Amino acid sequence: MGDQMGQMLVLEPEGIEREIHPYALQRYEEWKADAHHEIPLGELNDDDLNAYLSDEEKRMFQNYLDRIHGWLMKCRGIGDGYSPYPYTTDVIYPMFEIKSLLKKVYQLKAKKAKEEQQRRKEKAEAERRQRAEKEKERVAERKSWEYNHALGEEVEKLSSMLHPEKQNPEDYFEKEVVDLRYTGESFGHFLSAEEKQSFYTRVNAITREKLGGLVSHIYHQFVDWECLAYYFLLPWSDYVFEGVPCLNFSFDVFAVAETKVWLKPGKIGFDDYMFSLPQIEHKCDSDASYFTELEKPEFLGYHYVVLTPAEFGGYVFWQTIPLVLVAGLINGDTEPAGATISRVLETETTYTIKGFEEEVTIPNGFASYLMKTGGIDQMVSIGILSEKAANVIGKRLAQLEAGEKGGSLQNSQATGVKDEELISSLTSLGVPRRTAEELCSNIPKNLALQEATKLAMQNYNEIIAQQHSMKS
């Protein structure tokens, strides 16, 4: 460090002030005191002059200082008598300029010190923020790993509730739903495209809600699913009179919702930091493992659930069928008295009914289903009809039978069934023609058509059951 600036203004050698004219010494001390008052000279040194003054200014500073010292030397040894030197004005300007230069040095030094202090403060603040940011990043990373671990546990729990392989919807429905109306026929094709779409919208929403309950909502963004719906229509009926006694057939619509579930990659933020999850652990040996980012969706399995009609409003009216036709189909008579076949297709038969305005089309599968029920009483026991409706139907059937006494049924019993009539009756129930021909050859020809059809269908069902047994 250089000498302090205040020391530079001290007169030397020591005691020389006693030799200087009192007024000159007074002027000098007042000037020095004024400089000390305006400028903290104790904080300045000659190094500061070198640092903050230009070479020209340093030369001028030394020149002014020399002029002041020269003036003092002229005022030395002249006693108390009169002399012009102590009163000269030549030193006023040098004194003013030295004080100005010292003030400039002090201001520049103070400015630099303030800037340096600010720089140190900013540096310290930057270092503090950097440490805080690193700590924040460390905490965020720890949170991401904790989240990833919890996500892994959620996925493991979810996977345990899924089927790794696709299930047969019919088998699943039969296992989950105990309903005597179901005999293996779903009747799902009876629904129109509009009905399927309407039901699917509700089924999909309910299924997503049920699946969402299997995984905590904070992990939903990493789970994706796609739902398919398989519909199972179970019939029910009530009595109505539409010019002739009829049954209104409706369906309770059940749905087996099959959902494919995936684990999918995504990003999540913790404390302003984004992380790609999930991170999948790969074990190298018993003690080591490493993690990699999931890059594409990973299939987890299938989820199945049966939705009841009450859950998604699965109720549809199908059609009105005259009682005479229902009773005939139950008994295996594909063309009972009062019903006339107007059109036969591969999969369905259309009828005109005496006293009923509209044609009635019966799919083969539904005709076979009615025959399997076995009768009105059985339809009550399995839940298709109420007992109250069955009582009314029983009375109406008795009235119809009384009106047909001596009619076509007796004629057919007298003459017996013809092969082509029986074959036509069987094919209308969904039996392949070649199989119908084989069944026809084993039926006694003295039976009425409805009896022959019923016996042939019993034989046909036994053949189908044996084939299934052999396959299993």
pLDDT digit string (tens) for 164-176?
A: 999 999 999 999 9
The token pair at 151 is 């996500």
Structural domain range at position 80: 5-122
Same domain, yes or no: 322 and 466: yes
Distant-in-sequence, close-in-space partners of 362: CB < 8 Å, separation ≥ 6 = 321, 325, 329, 348, 349, 350, 351
Same domain, yes or no: 378 and 465: yes
In a domain, 139, yes or no: no
Has residue 285 got a pLDDT over 90?
no
Same domain, yes or no: 170 and 303: yes
Calculate mean pLDDT across residues 252-256.
96
pLDDT of residue 412: 43
Average pLDDT, the chain: 88
Tell me: the pLDDT tens digits for 366-378? 999 999 998 999 9
- Which of residues 122, 141, 176 is at a domain's end? 122
* Lowest-confidence segment of 45-59, 284-298, 381-395 by average pLDDT: 284-298
Same domain, yes or no: 277 and 376: no
Has residue 1 got a pLDDT over 50?
no
Q: Which residue has the tokens 């990003």?
A: 267
Helix (H) or strand (E) holding 397: helix 387-403
In DSSP terms, 307 is beta-bridged to 255
The token pair at 67 is 């002029």
C-alpha–C-alpha distance, residues 6 and 10, integer Å: 7
Global pTM reads 0.64
- Which of residues 66, 94, 122 is at a domain's end? 122
In a domain, 302, yes or no: yes
Same domain, yes or no: 165 and 309: yes
- Which of residues 285, 313, 341 is at a domain's end? 313
Has residue 404 got a pLDDT over 70?
no
In a domain, 143, yes or no: no
Same domain, yes or no: 353 and 326: yes
Tell me: the pLDDT tens digits for 412-452? 444 567 888 888 888 877 788 888 888 887 787 777 787 78
Same domain, yes or no: 330 and 436: yes
Calculate mean pLDDT across residues 289-307.
93
Calculate mean pLDDT across residues 42-61.
91
Q: Are 316 and 259 in contact (CB under 8 A)?
A: no
Same domain, yes or no: 347 and 454: yes
Tell me: the pLDDT tens digits for 147-160? 999 999 999 999 99
In a domain, 141, yes or no: no
Same domain, yes or no: 271 and 359: no
In a domain, 301, yes or no: yes
CB-neighbour burial class of residue 178 (10 A; exposed 0-12, middle 13-18, buried 19+): exposed
Calculate mean pLDDT across residues 63-86.
85
What letter represents residue 377's amino acid?
Answer: D
* Lowest-confidence segment of 121-125, 225-229, 259-263, 284-288 by average pLDDT: 284-288
pLDDT of residue 147: 93
* Lowest-confidence segment of 38-42, 296-300, 426-430 by average pLDDT: 426-430
Domain count for the chain: 3
Where does the pLDDT of residue 114 fall: very low under 50, low under 70, confident under 90, or very high at 90 and above? very high
